[in-house]
Structure 1
Amino acid sequence: MAYSEALSDQAVAISVSESPDLGALGMGEAHLRDATAEMARHLLALGARVAYGGDLRADGFTEILFELVARHRRDADEGDQRAAVVSYLAWPVHISKPFHDLERYSQELEGMAELLFLAQDGTPLAKDQRRDLQTREAEPGEWIEGLTMMRRRMGRDTSARIIAGGKVDGYLGAMPGIAEEAQVALDERRPLYILGGFGGCAADIASTLGLAEVPGVTARDWGQRDIFANVSTADLSNGLIPEENRTLAVTPHIDEAVALVLRGLMRLRRGPAAL
């Protein structure tokens, strides 16, 4: 019988971005970067694929994932040649970059990571289609639709979602990115893991759900936050009991957060008897 890694059938989406609360929590950007890398490293070691909505900025979170997979291979099942990391590039992100630059970048990542270039409606674009595109900056309306459709595509393609950090103003989509990605996970009935200990949008969602208030995070309002008001911990469908979800929502310790996320994923894999 062929050996099978524990999470080899899983594609886990990680939603993480800058948090406005890091300073108040006694942290810096490096804490969030390290947390992202550590979470992804454990997922890859258990055979999971990691999905992320890429932005192609230098020193961004996409680059962290690519560097990580270059150092730590995914423990995939025998014969599984799929890329360890899939970066979903929304229409407004990639049309501003020359085709040949993106193609060269994609080739450099071959065997480690896959860049998925999406049309405005979220469908993947073939190389010939991308070659014919005119390089330009996207209009504001294209950002809203393009980001929403990218997130919906990820929601259908992935089996679970992890959120951490996230800004709550100055966003380009219909709502803060972390919030929309959490909403999609709930709509698709995918397991959702909320790491609120790094503040930001994830902490606000944890508070709105009644999970916990993150010490040091000031109450604030942002567009469509109330869509989470009627969500219960049971709706997270993540294999964790309420007390564990409350701990996950406030802990600043990435080792504890990783252990809880993996516990939930493994319970779900074993089925209802493990819950």
Structure 2
Amino acid sequence: MLTSFLTAHKQAFPQDHHLWPLHPDPPLLPPEHEIMVKLCALSGYERDQVHLLTPRTFFAAGGVWGGGEPSLTTPNLALERPLSRLMLGISMAKSPDLEARGLSDRHLELAVAEVAQMMLLAGGGMTYAGAIGTHAPDLTAAVIDTVERYVRAAKHEQHRHSGTHAAEQRLHPGDMFTLTVPRMVLSNREALDQLTRTTEALAAVGRIDVVDEHGHLTDVDEAQLWTDSGPKVLARAYSEVRAALPRFCDARLLIGGKTISASETTPDGYVGAIPGVVEEALYTVRAGQPLFIAGGFGGAAAVLAHELGIGAGNPVSEASLAAVRALPAYRDAVAEIADGFDPELTGLDAADLERLATTQRASELAGLIVRGLSTGATVAGGTDA
């Protein structure tokens, strides 16, 4: 299709050196995108003026159209890889009001998968503090599945276009995924054995480490099982882990999150002095990193957006508000986050921050995150390609 179009277009417009082919999703992977751009360049078009995009990647790159030629406010994702080696930390958990919003576990998994796919396309990676099979929905598995599908497709494209030399080419600028597992979730040998197997399977695309109760990294094969289930000990341990998380990423996204503490009546509640998503937001702000709040999936992220005065159209559970506002530690954390939160670090304007705080569309959420991060990378002078 492209060769036919190039032939006809060159004959009709011989002086035209710019191209904006828009095609349906999914986006082209970098190996395929590169060969298409080379083909256009060989046909006489300027390489840096060839933009092969889908509606989703056009939006994520800050595309503007109307009143003349289209334009992008950030680099073309698959071609320029503007987020090379940038790691997005994801704080996520199923919110207690997810179903009340007409959403299911699958919606949360899709949102996480979409963000992961767009980050990979732009050259970045994800990091998450969790373990496999410890929560429902299993959001760790959703990210790992996206990475594995990306790797399979990218290898296929490399082999298709490069033949026997495909193995010599690097699939990605850096780690695609890192998992920092709190030692406290490793309460039995089965969980540790599963983690060991996954570590071996993901060795080519990322890494898995255990974070101990002091916030220090430990190799999986040296990790010790956790045996102390006392609530005060657990709360301190989780706080140490959460305080260490900014060391492993460049920005953080909040999705969902528990709002009621664990107890006999709510065994699936959060563990610690305050909701984990809020505590991780606090340490992100203290580290001076961009903080993205996706409030449309409810939970602690929606509460935090409400308390920061963004996402006014987003309904927030009164029970969730009451539960967290009753805690002095929570109120202090929100006050500090509100004082230190810098919207400009996100690379998004006020309208986009509102959309981020309210949207339930996975593709829009992913596009906003990558657009903001790409804008920040461009302003900072870019990242290593």
Cα displacement (A) at 1:213: 3.0
Aligned-residue CA RMSD in angstroms?
2.7
Equivalent in 188, 191, 196 of residue 287 of structure 2: 188
- Deviation, 1:46, is 1.0
The Cα shift of 1:242 comes to 1.8
Shifted more, 143-152 versus 213-222: the winner is: 213-222
Consecutive unaligned residues in structure 1, runs of 5 or more? none
Amino acid at match of 2:259: V
Aligned match for 1:265, one of 345, 349, 373: 373
Which aligned runs of 4 or more in structure 1 are off by greater than 4 angstroms? 77-82, 98-101
CA–CA distance in 1 between the matches of 2:373 and 2:358?
A: 19
How much does 1:104 deviate?
2.8
Q: Which amino acid aligns with 2:342?
A: D
Contact 1:24–1:217 (CA<8 Å) still a contact in 2? no
Equivalent position of 1:10 in the other structure: 86
The separation in 1 between residues aligned to 2:89 and 2:357, in whole angstroms, is: 18
Q: What SS is found at the alignment partner of 1:24?
A: helix
Matched, 1:241 2:333: no
**Secondary structure of 1:50's partner?**
strand
Match for 2:362: what amino acid? Answer: I
The CA deviation at 1:147 is: 1.9
- Structure 2: how far apart are the matches of 1:135 and 1:185? 26
- Which range is displaced more, 111-120 or 101-110? 101-110
Is 1:88 the counterpart of 2:187? The answer is: no
After the TM superposition, which of the residue ranges 183-192 and 241-250 deviates more from structure 2?
A: 241-250
Contact 1:5 1:46 in 2 (8 A): yes
After superposition, residues 14-93 of structure 1 pair within 5 angstroms as 14-57=90-133, 60-73=138-151, 78=170, 82-93=174-185
After TM superposition, give the deviation of residue 234 of structure 1 in Å: 5.7
Cα distance, 1:97–1:112 mapped onto 2, change above 3 Å? farther
Q: Paired residues, what number?
A: 269
1:212 aligns with 2:304: no
Cα distance, 1:267–1:257 mapped onto 2, change above 3 Å = same
Q: Relative to 1, partners in 2 of residues 1:218 and 1:142: Cα closer, same or farther, differing over 3 Å? A: same
Once the two structures are aligned, what percentage of the paired residues are identical?
Answer: 27
- For 1:233 and 1:146, the matched residues in 2 are separated by 25
Write the deviation string for residues 26-65 of structure 1: whole angstroms up to 9, x where unpaired. Answer: 1111111111111111001111110001132265111111
- Is the Cα contact below 8 Å between 1:193 and 1:238 reproduced in 2? yes
When normalised by structure 2's length, the TM-score is: 0.63
| Structure 1 residue 81: Cα displacement | 7.2
CA–CA separation in structure 1 for the residues paired with 2:233 and 2:208:
20
> Greater Rg, structure 1 or structure 2?
2
Greater per-residue helix proportion: 2
TM superposition shift of 1:261: 1.3
TM-score, length basis structure 1: 0.87
2:218 match: secondary structure: coil
1:146 aligns with 2:237: yes
SS in 2 for 1:114: strand
**d(CA) in 1 for partners of 2:93, 2:133:** 12
Structure 2, unaligned stretches of length 5 or more?
A: 1-78, 155-168, 261-268
CA drift of 1:214 comes to: 4.5
Which AA in structure 2 matches 1:235?
D
1:102-251 mapped onto 2 (5 Å cutoff): 102-126=195-219, 129-130=222-223, 133=224, 136=227, 138-169=229-260, 170-219=269-318, 220-221=321-322, 222=324, 223=327, 224-226=329-331, 227-229=333-335, 231=338, 235-236=342-343, 237-251=345-359
**Residues 82 and 378, structure 2, Cα contact 8 Å, conserved in 1:** no
Opposite residue 110 of structure 2, the aligned amino acid is D
Partners of 2:235 and 2:142 lie apart in 1 by: 25
Letter in 2 for 1:136: T
